[in-house]
Structure 1
């Protein structure tokens, strides 16, 4: 049975992804979540607190999926391809979170710092991993790691968001192959096969 807090999370995610923060009321979130207003306030005292909870839970889920790949025994070439596919599949399956992350409206001005802290946790993880690969010679020494992490994240998420808004399937063989091809420029040819043809794009 779905818990009340999980119902609130799903309802709030839907509400925040479809409307500006300033226009999303706790009354509306309670309605979308199918819980009483008193129940909503029992778990979350303010709209800001709920917004940060929704964002944190979504980012933590992505970090967990990234960690599973990074901690796996996969060879580096397979690991890089797997990470791209994990990101694309994550946004393909969590369309509302994708829309929320891409929203221009990050809540009130006083929450900007808290939101940035949450997002930084993800980028800190990815930048640490890309730095290791650069030190090992798998990524070009001329690549700026922060720019690389930001660009790859944005490339995948914008791709997913546009396909979602057009009503198209996101997690396709063609899109996966195209994203991998676009990433070839950061890889060192002598260390890694830019597009490992032996890897399945069907997963």
Structure 2
């Protein structure tokens, strides 16, 4: 199972008829965390006309929430929510601060402004694909290493760490999609010497790739 989210906060700003729209995107993992960030932004931009927001959570049964914060109903939060959903992102919040420039934009103009700056801030962010897997560590003889490496390559299983000592200590990330075949073939290629119960470490983790480097993403 995998999903897309953002890492590291990002910002974008546009100006339309002297109104400034400042967008902030961030990763959030709970409704409480999202609401706390909204409060922080409202405190920072206390003199703004509006601080509109939208977020989608992967947890909490895929909770979706949006707020127009005083803008005409459906012209701010909902368009931002649609942009997040259209990008396939979860555990993400976008907050857009507006400083009114003195000219009304109309409902269509507001929808375009809020959805436009939301799309822009996503472009400025770092989108990653989070994947759930079992982090499994095995200690094997050097003679079995080529067979194991071939199996891992065949199944597309990522090697997280390898340590060459008296024996080889190898850690791999096994997803649900390939786990059944991996454990079956692991037993076969080692003539029963290794099974899934042979792992000296077996832990459920989330991970993502950053410039080909594997980053473990432990969820709180």
- Give the TM-score category using the shorter length: under 0.3
Provide TM-score, normalisation by structure 1: 0.25
Larger Rg: 2
Q: When you count strand as a share of all residues, which structure comes out higher?
A: 2
